C-alpha cells in the first residue's frame, strides 16, 4: 500500500529510509493521494497531530487505512498521542507505535504491521 509520511526532525524519515519504501512526504498538507495509504507521523505538542498532517488528512480522509506513529516516552501518557487521535478521528487502526527513530526490532515489527 502507498506510504505517506511527515517528519520534522528526521526520525520518521529515517524509519522510511530503513524500510526502503517509496513514500510521499507531506510538506504543508496540500498534497493529495488518489489511492489507499498508510500514514506515518510524529507526535507534536502534548499528544497532538502535527498541523500539516491534520491538514493532509482533512484533504485525503477517504483513503487513509492506518497509522504508524513515532513519539518519545518522555511525554508519558501523551506518548504517540498523534496516532491515537488519528485512529479516533478517522476510525483506522494504530498499526505501530515507535520511539523516536526506532530499533532494528521496531523496523522488523513495522514491516510486519504494514504487510511488507
Ligand atoms: C515540540 C515537541 C513536542 C513533542 N510532543 C510529543 C508528544 O506529545 N508525545 C510524544 O510521544 N512525542 C512527542 N514529541 C517527540 C517526537 O514526536 C518524536 O521525537 C518523533 O520521533 C519526531 O519525529 P521526526 O524526527 O520525524 O520529526 C515531541 C517533540 C517535540 C520537538
pLDDT above 90: residue 17: yes
The pLDDT of residue 51: 98
Residues composing the chain: 116
pLDDT above 90: residue 76: yes
pLDDT band at 116 (very low <50, low <70, confident <90, very high): confident
In three-state secondary structure terms, 68 is strand
Q: How far away, in angstroms, is 116 Cα from ligand 1 center?
A: 25
For residue 105, what are the domain limits? 2-113
Percent of the chain with pLDDT over 70: 100
Split into its structural domains, the chain has a count of 1
Tell me which residues have their CB closer than 6 angstroms to ligand 1: 7-13, 42-47, 70-72, 75, 78-81, 100
**pTM of this structure:** 0.98
pLDDT above 90: residue 45: yes
Q: For residue 42, what is the domain's CATH number?
A: 3.40.50.360
Please report, in angstroms and rounded to a whole number, the separation of the first and last CA atoms in the chain: 9
pLDDT above 90: residue 13: yes
Amino acid at each position: 500500500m502507498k506510504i505517506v509520511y511527515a517528519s520534522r526532525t528526521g526520525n520518521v524519515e529515517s524509519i522510511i529510509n530503513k524500510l526502503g519504501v517509496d513514500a510521499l512526504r507531506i510538506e504543508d498538507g496540500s498534497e493529495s493521494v488518489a489511492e489507499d495509504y498508510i500514514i506515518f507521523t510524529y507526535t507534536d505538542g502534548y499528544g497532538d497531530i502535527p498541523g500539516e498532517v491534520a491538514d493532509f488528512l482533512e484533504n485525503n480522509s477517504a483513503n487513509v487505512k492506518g497509522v504508524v506513529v513515532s513519539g518519545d516516552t518522555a511525554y508519558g501518557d501523551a506518548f504517540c498521542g498523534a496516532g491515537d487521535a488519528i485512529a479516533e478521528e478517522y476510525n483506522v487502526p494504530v498499526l505501530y507505535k515507535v520511539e523516536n527513530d526506532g530499533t532494528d526490532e521496531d523496523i522488523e515489527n513495522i514491516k510486519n504491521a504494514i504487510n511488507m
